[in-house]
Amino acid sequence: MNNIKIISYNVNGIRAAMRKGLVQWLQQSSADIIGFQEIKAVENQIDTEALRQAGYHYQYWFPAQRKGYSGTGIISKIKPKNVVYGTGIDYMDAEGRNIRADFDGFSFMSMYLPSGTNAERLAIKFKYMDDFLDYAKQLRKDLPKLIISGDYNICHEPRDIHDPIRLQHVSGFLPEERAWLSAFIDSGFIDSFREFDPRPEQYTWWSYRAGSRARNKGWRIDYHMVTPELKPYLKRSIILPEAKHSDHCPILLEL
């Protein structure tokens, strides 16, 4: 396998991110494959030509049925052998939360797990978590070299959040959510970032409120999760906080 650079990025609206210089940044990053989450757009609203000129000739978009909401996408300089839109789980697919591209030697999924902003959405998040874990276990059997990257909307450990005591009752750091992420990892995935970097205070999302980003009051909720079969190929897995097109920052995986 030649060196391959993969970026995952919750852009919180791809049109807004492109207005903030996303395309120029992508050109500098020289990633081969990019998974987006929260695109909040359908394909004809996206400047796909600008992305094509940046080298991403293969583009796959999976918007939510509801306009201006959720949605995922994958753009690539390498042609995938196969692209799968969704999981076949109807309520997930209505929100455009999963898209997968299969390449020679590995498969890559961009995934956007719901946030539990209120009691109703938290119930949907828990249902999604359970259904997706079952789906991922099956998928691993067919695709042993699998990367599931994206916004998991869960901090795993106290070192992944800026105030673990005060926030332990907030969705994103609830004991049940953290236990689910542990179960997900135990089912056959590696948190690639933690293979390389044990430090606390390494975050991928900051609230827009109260100057959180400048003060690094953040959460690490974006992950490149890889199956153990890919562990020998891991070269690096890093957070790129200098990119500021969203309330999230991109994360980079190099194989």
Which amino acids are annotated catalytic? 151
3-class SS of residue 45: helix
Separation of alpha carbons 152 and 200, rounded Å: 18
In the chain, the amino acid numbered 243 is A
Rounded Cα distance between 186 and 156, Å, is 13
- Cβ neighbours of 127 (radius 10 Å): 14
* DSSP element (H, E) containing 254: strand 251-254
Angle in degrees, 0-180, between the axes of helices 119-142 and 175-186, rounded to the nearest 10: 10
CB atoms under 10 Å from CB of 142, counted, come to 9
Tokens of 35: 């998974």
Helix (H) or strand (E) holding 142: helix 119-142
- The residues, ordered by sequence, that sit 6+ positions from 28 with a Cβ below 8 Å of its Cβ are none
